[in-house]
């Protein structure tokens, strides 16, 4: 079994397995208007605990911080004492069944889904991770 990542708007494939949206909300960039392209049939679960804190997202979108600063702060967030068990549980679940982490970014280069998947791999090195 493996942990995959992809854009939530990409085609659903059988190999995606259990699809988890890790977005804070399913809205347009204004943070208010619902994104009509993101419907409940695109994901099995919406786990906002893995989303970056709203203040962090806002600072990044307002260009108050760059990607390196964003990624550093997101990693600090998921490495907090109360988050480590959540991340470890996610990684362990991916050992038992295929899981795909979903976010809005079209590529993983500057997306927190990649950072979370890489952190899962650090916690459980034998976990297969495929970042798309």
Distance from C-alpha of 77 to C-alpha of 83, rounded to nearest angstrom = 7
Single pTM value for the model: 0.95
pLDDT in tens, 75-93: 999 999 999 999 999 999 9
pLDDT in tens, 2-46: 999 999 999 999 999 999 999 999 999 888 899 999 999 999 999
User: 């991916």: which residue's tokens?
Assistant: 94
Other beta carbons within 10 angstroms of residue 23's beta carbon come to 24
């Amino acid at each position: 079994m493996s942990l995959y990542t992809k854009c939530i708007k990409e085609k659903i494939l059988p190999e995606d397995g259990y699809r988890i949206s890790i977005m804070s909300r399913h809205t347009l960039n204004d943070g208010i208007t619902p994104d009509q392209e993101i419907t409940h049939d695109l994901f099995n679960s919406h786990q906002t605990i893995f989303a970056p804190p709203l203040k962090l997202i806002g600072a990044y979108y307002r260009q108050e911080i760059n990607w390196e600063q964003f990624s550093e702060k997101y990693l600090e967030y998921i490495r907090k004492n109360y988050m480590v068990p959540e991340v470890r549980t996610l990684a362990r679940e991916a050992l038992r069944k295929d899981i795909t982490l979903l976010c809005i970014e079209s590529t993983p280069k500057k997306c927190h889904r990649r950072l979370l998947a890489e952190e899962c791999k650090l916690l459980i090195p034998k976990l297969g991770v495929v970042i798309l």
